[in-house]
Structure 1
Amino acid sequence: MGDPWEVAEEHFYPWNTIEMVPDSPVRLPLVGYGSLMNRSSALRTLSEQSVSSARPVLVMGARRVYEYVMSPRGRKIYGDQVAEERFGVLNARASEDSNEWFNGIQYQLNATDIMALADRESAYDLVPAWTIPWGVKNSAPQIGYFLSCRTETHEGRQLLDSQLLPHPNYHAICEEGCRDVSSDFLKAFRRSTWVREARVSDVAETLARDATTPPPASQL
């Protein structure tokens, strides 16, 4: 199968939309792995046509982790009345372990979608990865892109903090989007999402119980 970057280019922020989709029929296959998995949240940014193209997939050779610091705009949307440690938003990175994976919702984006997404997702690069359809056996892998923040700061704002915990309202939106696919898809989300070096599936009850008070680091 080979490495995805051998057959597809990375796109560094700020993205060059013309390079990514040079002709109007061309679409960019983007995998949303956080709030973009939620249809209502996706419609805040993407066109109805693009959202209607949604399909669940698995992204191979990558890890999803709570480490992105929620932006001021995000705090207005999801609420700022939580402990400072709970402003965590999801990020994803290519992994050296080809057996790592996470699930998400793939959309086919046009140029207008991409420009709107650039306003929503600051300082994320677009990284290629192999994807396979969720629940489809013996399907050939296809290239898809996921958002990956790999810089510590942007325009004076801290972007990454490995000790963050999920913002409870943001996390609920992510889980709602997964639940709309299936209960197994939600379980896969929890199993393939990391927070403070633990899988969410292992600490889900703690996170839910202490939604406004961060649990001790020893519990995560």
Structure 2
Amino acid sequence: MIFHRPFKLHLLDRIARVALPCPSSTAREHQYPWDFTELFPEPDSRISFVGYGSLINLISARRSFSDEIVSRARPVVVLGVKRVYEYVMSPRGRGIYGDDHREGGYGVLNARASQDPDDWFNGIEFQLDIEAFHALHIRESAYDLLPAWTVTWEEDHLEPHISYFLSCRRETFAGRQTIDSGILPHPRYHEVCEDGCRAVSNEFLDAFRASTWVRNTRMTEAIDAGDQPLPGEA
């Protein structure tokens, strides 16, 4: 899946400032654990959902979603949301990605609705049915489902639409810590995210780095300053 769209950070920043109604006035949020009868009042309905971490990588996405769903996935930009490394990897995640013996090296991505018009992130949008959401529920814990305005990556004519994204807003869950603002990205997890972006295009990878925060710093700013190498490159 390769898309060729010139990456212009200033253009995405301008798009993010477009005045749009509050997403919650158009679609409701769903707190974890999600109520599937509310999510799917009609059994054959589907929900637009944006993966912004390991789900960007379609190889990883196929662990949870059918080939039919993955084949129809498309790259998008989500507006008014900030993506940040602050979720503490679960024991299940450590079983998948392995141990990181660095102090604070178990960071996984989270996303939070933002009041800052400059906040946005890129990701992969899926059309999920109820079976796929059950798989997502097993894969991701303690994340609420929040609506956000979304635009497609590869089209010049932008028409915002509502998609859902995952947002963990609780400090603990099931007796474990879930949020740590000082955490570092898990190297293998981050590699999976970047490989997924690179499969779309180098510009999509640039956008990922420009819209991902680690310890209150954009990844691109840390790289440019030379004071923080990318995970796995240290």
The CA deviation string for residues 186-206 of structure 1, in whole angstroms up to 9 with x for no partner, is 000000000001111123463
**Quick check: 1:86 aligned with 2:114?**
no
Question: Which amino acid counterpart does residue 186 of structure 2 have in structure 1?
Answer: H
2:229 aligned residue (193, 207, 217): 207
1:171 aligned residue (161, 184, 190): 190
For 2:16, the equivalent position in structure 1 comes to none
User: What's the CA shift for 1:49?
Assistant: 1.5
For 1:124, the equivalent position in structure 2 comes to 143
For 2:82, the equivalent position in structure 1 comes to 63
2:209 aligned residue (187, 190, 210): 190
Give the secondary-structure state (helix, strand or coil) at the position aligned to 1:116. Answer: helix
Question: Which amino acid counterpart does residue 201 of structure 2 have in structure 1?
Answer: S
Give the secondary-structure state (helix, strand or coil) at the position aligned to 1:59. Answer: strand
Query: Could you tell me whether the CA contact under 8 Å between 1:45 and 1:116 is conserved in 2?
Result: yes
Question: Which amino acid counterpart does residue 178 of structure 2 have in structure 1?
Answer: L
| Structure 1 stretches lacking a partner, 5+ long | 214-220
User: What's the CA shift for 1:212?
Assistant: 8.6
Query: Could you tell me whether the CA contact under 8 Å between 2:100 and 2:106 is conserved in 1?
Result: no
For 1:48, the equivalent position in structure 2 comes to 67
For 1:162, the equivalent position in structure 2 comes to 181
For 1:110, the equivalent position in structure 2 comes to 129
User: What's the CA shift for 1:101?
Assistant: 0.4
* Ranges of 4+ aligned residues in structure 1 off by more than 2 Å: 202-208, 210-213
For 1:12, the equivalent position in structure 2 comes to 31
Question: Which amino acid counterpart does residue 207 of structure 1 have in structure 2?
Answer: P
CA distance in 2, matches of 1:5, 1:97: 16
Question: Which amino acid counterpart does residue 150 of structure 2 have in structure 1?
Answer: T
1:147 aligned residue (154, 166, 170): 166
Equivalent pairs counted in the alignment come to: 212
Query: Could you tell me whether the CA contact under 8 Å between 1:37 and 1:174 is conserved in 2?
Result: yes
| Structure 2 stretches lacking a partner, 5+ long | 1-19
Give the secondary-structure state (helix, strand or coil) at the position aligned to 2:99. Answer: coil
User: What's the CA shift for 1:47?
Assistant: 1.4
What CA RMSD, in Å, does the superposition of the two structures yield over aligned residues? 1.4
For 2:13, the equivalent position in structure 1 comes to none
TM-score normalised to structure 1 length: 0.92
CA distance in 1, matches of 2:100, 2:180: 19
